[in-house]
Chain A
């Protein structure tokens, strides 16, 4: 056994065999091949999953346009969504998705940035002890629970406040606001912490107050990071399905105001895809909505990259 552990197949003192054995891989080399093989295989699986996901959803999503010959422009700008009657105007859902996404981001950003400033500049100790767990708990609450609370609390509240059914964009905004808050906060905290310490010290040494330092130096320097945080939050809001679907009312009509039932790409997908038959126009049209979701997710991803690159450049200058 001792011989094998030294890396050779068998002990042999004949010089000729020694030479031959030197041409063979040692045990360590073979181990490394094995490990390399396994880890390449695993990463290959992930790449395969990503590639097939992009391929399948794209090929399904464009069937509406190639197979059912729906005009892309009409699909994106049409306002009448009744795929079973051949009407595939997806604009109501597209507007619904963008409306809740932007509204949630606009409401959540001041809260997130304020919390992040508190955690990094005002009370770092309490921030770590109290707010860090608060944020982590908010991340941990499953989206169906957010949806349920939206349904049980926010919708009746809105009904009481402004009348109507209570379902609508504003209710969805409320729910999404709480859901994207931890995402934006955590990433903003990271970018505030990354601001070099001497920026802050220089500003304070010049006699600036804390707020002047925060608003004119720290927030400025952290802007690319905060923008990235907001985009991540928007990506989460755009892709959130169940919580939104539970409170928005799911009416595939052009939203006239913020308090009437509307629908988003995700809500239409979750309610519709099980009721349609594979290969028909109503089914294909839903896959096209999924394709829009996919493309938007790629777009958010690209946006984050661009901002990261810009941020790097401005720091180097």
Chain B
């Protein structure tokens, strides 16, 4: 009976632990949505921030977050696609490949603040570009590359060998086989990984504080010429993102309603990340059905 009683006790303890974990998540989400959503309005989403009076919105920050995300993805997807193909297709199992894999692992385990500081050192101090969208996007690329590369490699390697052999036996080159046959089959996995990493990039702040900067100059949204200084598309202007904004509002404490402001901004951030996660699933499933022609 002793063993059975212990078994029961252990089961109860584990149930309590699981309930606590679920409770923590429910509390987190509920807290943010309940305290934040009432302050989210159209004028909040589109207005420009004024950190002194406390009034104001997050329009510029929201735009900056998306702009940085798109730039980051434009830079990091091609590079990690090439690197993923290398690792899945061309890399032989030798010391050089092991070294490359370790390097990618090291990059992925580096704290994001270190990645941000490296970006700061390279672009702001050495190249004197200053706090800018492009510095931020490249720093985020460094942060994003290892995970995206690994995701793409895994998706490519998961495609069955016979598909490769079919391509090669038709006289196609390895490259043609990879691009024309393997990549489309692996696409659902890759797309899911890309969208999930987009969610992570969207919420990242530590790598951006000293690269994209902590200021969001009011931009002229009627001016879409990337060369103009006031244009929102200008890659050389500083660009505080939503995540950085939350951090800054809370640490500077200048705004009288910092808690309200950051609760609302956090709610927007969380909803965006949730949408990314949902979108990743839906899109991945949809593509999987399209590619495999299964219902």
Point out the residue from B13, B78, B90, B274 that lies within 8 Å of A114, measured CB to CB.
B13
Stretch from A12-20, A145-153, A253-261 that touches the partner: A145-153
* Other-chain residue from B25, B106, B206 in contact with A298 (beta carbon distance below 8 A): B106
| B244 contacts across to A, CB distance below 8 A | 144
B85 and A35: CB pair below 8 A?
yes
Q: Is the interface of A mostly helix, strand, loop or mixed?
A: helix
Residues of B within 8 A of A178 (CB): 24, 28
Of the candidates A36, A148, A274, which one forms a contact with B262 in the assembled complex, judged by CB atoms under 8 Å apart?
A148
Interface residues of B in 102-140 (CB under 8 A from A): 102-107, 109-115, 117-118, 120-122, 125
Instruction: Please give the distance in Å from A212's CB to the nearest CB on chain B.
Output: 6
Contacts A122-B11, A136-B277, A137-B277 given; does A32 touch B86 at CB 8 Å:
no
Q: Which residues on the B side are within 8 Å of A210 (C-beta)?
A: 7, 11
* Cα–Cα, bound, A118→B21 (Å): 12
Residues of B within 8 A of A45 (CB): 79, 83
Task: Please classify the interface of chain B as helix (H, G, I), strand (E, B), loop, or mixed, using the class held by over half of its residues.
Answer: helix
| A57 x B114 contact (CB < 8 A) | yes
- B55-63, B229-237, B246-254 - interface stretch: B246-254
Contact, CB under 8 Å: B111 / A142: no
Say whether B92 faces chain A, with CB atoms less than 8 Å apart: no
> Is the beta-carbon distance between B17 and A110 smaller than 8 angstroms?
yes
Q: Which of A68-76, A194-202, A238-246 contacts B (4 or more CB under 8 A)?
A: A238-246
Does A53 contact B107, Cβ atoms closer than 8 Å? yes
Contact with A along B241-280 (1 / 0, CB 8 A): 0011011001100000001001100100110011011000
Beta-carbon contacts under 8 Å, A21-62 to B: 27-29, 31-32, 34-36, 38-43, 45-47, 49-54, 56-57, 60
If A46-B103, A181-B21 touch, does A270 touch B206 (CB 8 Å cutoff)? yes
Name B175's contact: one of A36, A211, A278, A287 (CB within 8 Å). A36
A42-B82, A43-B100, A46-B146 known; A273-B210 Cβ under 8 A: yes
A290 at the interface (CB under 8 A from B): yes
The answer to whether A42 touches B118, judged by C-beta atoms less than 8 angstroms apart, is no
Q: Give 9 CB contacts A-B under 8 Å.
A: A39-B85, A43-B82, A46-B104, A140-B199, A185-B21, A214-B10, A278-B125, A290-B113, A301-B109
- Given pairs A35-B179, A138-B28, A140-B274, 15 additional interface contacts (CB within 8 A): A35-B85, A39-B83, A46-B100, A46-B145, A47-B100, A50-B103, A51-B103, A115-B18, A118-B14, A145-B270, A148-B246, A148-B263, A151-B250, A152-B259, A211-B3
Which 8 residue pairs are nearest across A and B when measured between Cβ atoms?
A: A239-B111, A142-B203, A35-B175, A42-B82, A114-B17, A39-B86, A241-B113, A209-B7
* Chain A positions near chain B (C-beta within 8 angstroms): 27-29, 31-32, 34-36, 38-43, 45-47, 49-54, 56-57, 60, 110-111, 114-115, 117-118, 122, 130-131, 134, 136-138, 140-145, 147-149, 151-153, 178, 181, 185, 208-212, 214-215, 235, 238-242, 245-246, 266, 269-271, 273-274, 278, 287, 290, 293-294, 297-298, 300-301
